[in-house]
Amino acid sequence: MNKITLESANVKGEIIAQDSLIGRILSDSFTFHYLPNGVVSQGKGNVKVFTDINLKKLALINYPEASLSCKADNRSYIVVCEYLMERDRQERLGTCSISSSSVYKGEDGILFFGGATNLGKSSSALELANNGYSLFSDEKTLLSLEKGLMAGGSRSIPLRKEIIKRKFMDNHGSFEEIKYDASKTPKVKMIILPHLDHGLKKPIITQFAPLDLFWHLTKELSRRIRGDTKFINYFEYLLPSLDTEELAQKRIEMTKDFVKELEGFYFQGNLNQLVKFVNNKF
């Protein structure tokens, strides 16, 4: 057995497994796409994932540790490790991950969120990146609810996405790295729920009241800690919830404070209309 320590935005996780599996973890580009701000680190982890050769089921979660059977693949170790990290970052740091893409300009950030695929989160962020904004994250962003900041995110874009395939025709089973300033933690100025629609002469734009924005966000901020999307071994096994009553209540209070001074919008229109709308707000 061997050990590696992975770090994701000030949270560390240890993985203990066979050398060959450790090698596959380190060589798979999925590892550092899936872990927000993921890097190889040193020292003891806040959470731990290890192989249990006697385990009958695929995974056993006993937070802050988890054991996996010998049948689990290398990506399962990363999914489980990041899952344990999510609870640790929520409890200790008041930081939650959310399905989203984001950009920033100066010290201010814009987040495109929404649990469904093909809403236009990545397309919107990439279009703004072509119009004077800097790309911050894709697919997953870390929100510091207590500080109102974008604290990190996935630093690459899956090349399977249609908009990316058109730009990078080769090797679309991999990931395109996002160039970013590691020192940046932009303040969240605006959140947009996009619906790309190229058939409208005039976009449909609705501003959310704080309570409506809270209602939309609290569902998305709960998904990753409750295991709604936490499958391992290529959708063979769904991990159980890691949420607690105390943590859920803390997340509710943090989200209510987070949205108080925040502008949130539903935007339906094309990319040109989106750029014009955002530029008018900034």
Share of the chain above pLDDT 90, in %: 80
At 31-79, the pLDDT tens digits run 988 999 899 999 899 999 999 999 999 999 999 999 999 999 999 999 9
> Looking at the structure, do residues 124 and 234 belong to the same domain, yes or no?
yes
> Looking at the structure, do residues 156 and 235 belong to the same domain, yes or no?
yes
pTM above 0.75, yes or no: yes
At 89-125, the pLDDT tens digits run 999 999 999 999 999 999 999 999 998 788 899 999 9
The domain boundary, picked from 31, 62, 92, lies at 92
| CATH classification at residue 40 | 3.30.2010
Peptide bond into 64 cis (omega under 30): yes
> Looking at the structure, do residues 63 and 181 belong to the same domain, yes or no?
no
Q: What domain range includes position 139?
A: 95-281
> Looking at the structure, do residues 46 and 146 belong to the same domain, yes or no?
no
pLDDT class of 261 with cuts at 50, 70, 90: confident
Share of the chain above pLDDT 70, in %: 92
> Looking at the structure, do residues 158 and 251 belong to the same domain, yes or no?
yes
Q: How many domains does the chain have?
A: 2
> Looking at the structure, do residues 74 and 199 belong to the same domain, yes or no?
no
- Report whether pLDDT(264) > 90: yes
> Looking at the structure, do residues 115 and 208 belong to the same domain, yes or no?
yes
> Looking at the structure, do residues 155 and 193 belong to the same domain, yes or no?
yes
